[in-house]
A and B are shown apart, each in its own frame.
Chain A
Amino acid sequence: MALAQPKIDLADALLARHATPAAGAKWAETARRSAAERLRAMGGPVRRDEYWKYTDPSSLTADVAPPAALMERDGTSIFSQVDRLTIVFVDGVIDLAQSDALALEGMTIEPLSDALGADIHWAQSVYGALETRGQDPVPRPLAALNTAVAGQGLAIHVTGKVEKPVSLVYLHNDVASDAVIHHVIRLDAGAEMTLLENGPAAARFNKCMEVDVADGARFHHVRAQGRDHERRAVTHMFARLGEESSFKSFTLTVNGVLTRNEAIIEFTGDNAHATVAGACAGDGTFHHDDTVFITHDAVNCESRQVYKKVLRNGATGAFQGKILVKAGAQKTDGYQISQGLLLDEESQFLAKPELEIYADDVACSHGSTVGAVDEDMLFYLTSRGVPRHAAQDMLVLAFLDEAIQEVEDEVLANAIRNRLGGWLERRSNSGL
Chain B
Amino acid sequence: MLEISNLHVKLEEEDKQILKGVDLSVGAGQVHAIMGPNGSGKSTLSYVLSGRDGYEVTEGGATLEGQDLLDMEPEERAAAGLFLAFQYPVEIPGVGNMTFLRTALNGQRRARGEEEVNAAEFLKLVRARAKELQISDEMLKRPVNVGFSGGEKKRNEILQMAVLEPKMCVMDETDSGLDVDAMKLVADGVNALRSEGRSFLVITHYQRLLDHIKPDVVHIMADGRIVKTGGPELALEVEKNGYADILEEVA
Q: Knowing A379-B53, A390-B103 are in contact, say whether A384-B95 is a contact too (CB < 8 A).
A: no
A387 adjacent to chain B (CB < 8 Å): yes
- Of B53, B73, B84, which contacts A375 at CB under 8 A? B53
Report B-chain residues with C-beta under 8 Å of the C-beta of A382.
Answer: 51, 73-75, 78
Which residues of chain A have a CB within 8 Å of any CB of chain B?
A: 375-377, 379-388, 390-391, 394-395, 397-399, 401-402
B105-119, CB under 8 A of A: which get 1 and which 0? 101100100000000
Question: What are the 9 closest A-B residue pairs judged by CB atoms, nearest first?
Answer: A398-B94, A385-B78, A385-B108, A384-B104, A382-B74, A380-B90, A385-B104, A385-B107, A382-B75
Which residues of chain B have a CB within 8 Å of any CB of chain A?
A: 50-53, 73-75, 77-79, 83-84, 86, 89-90, 92-95, 99-101, 103-105, 107-108, 111, 143-144, 160, 164
Report A-chain residues with C-beta under 8 Å of the C-beta of B160.
Answer: 384
Which has the most chain A C-beta neighbours within 10 Å: B52, B77, B83, B84? Answer: B52
A385–B90 Cα gap in the complex (Å)?
A: 15
A3–B95 Cα gap in the complex (Å)?
A: 52
Report A-chain residues with C-beta under 8 Å of the C-beta of B111.
Answer: 385, 387
* Pair B94/A386 contact, Cβ less than 8 Å: no
Q: Knowing A379-B52, A380-B86, A402-B94 are in contact, say whether A385-B75 is a contact too (CB < 8 A).
A: yes
Report A-chain residues with C-beta under 8 Å of the C-beta of B104.
Answer: 381, 384-386
- Of B52, B78, B93, which contacts A384 at CB under 8 A? B78
Which has the most chain B C-beta neighbours within 10 Å: A375, A390, A394? Answer: A394
* Pair B53/A398 contact, Cβ less than 8 Å: no
A72–B233 Cα gap in the complex (Å)?
A: 69
A430–B144 Cα gap in the complex (Å)?
A: 29
Q: Knowing A390-B103, A394-B103 are in contact, say whether A385-B79 is a contact too (CB < 8 A).
A: yes
Report A-chain residues with C-beta under 8 Å of the C-beta of B105.
Answer: 385
Interface SS majority for chain A: helix
Report A-chain residues with C-beta under 8 Å of the C-beta of B95.
Answer: 381, 394-395, 397-398
Report A-chain residues with C-beta under 8 Å of the C-beta of B103.
Answer: 386, 390, 394
* Pair B92/A381 contact, Cβ less than 8 Å: yes
Contacts A/B (CB < 8 Å), 15 sampled: A377-B92, A380-B86, A380-B144, A383-B50, A384-B100, A385-B75, A385-B104, A385-B105, A385-B107, A386-B75, A386-B107, A388-B75, A394-B99, A397-B94, A401-B94
Q: Looking at the assembled complex, report how far the CB atom of B168 sits from the nearest CB atom of chain A, in whole angstroms.
A: 13
Report A-chain residues with C-beta under 8 Å of the C-beta of B74.
Answer: 379, 382-383, 388
Report A-chain residues with C-beta under 8 Å of the C-beta of B86.
Answer: 380
- Of B78, B94, B101, B143, which contacts A383 at CB under 8 A? B78
Which has the most chain A C-beta neighbours within 10 Å: B50, B92, B144, B160? Answer: B92
Report A-chain residues with C-beta under 8 Å of the C-beta of B93.
Answer: 398
Which has the most chain B C-beta neighbours within 10 Å: A379, A384, A388? Answer: A384
Report B-chain residues with C-beta under 8 Å of the C-beta of A379.
Answer: 51-53, 74, 90
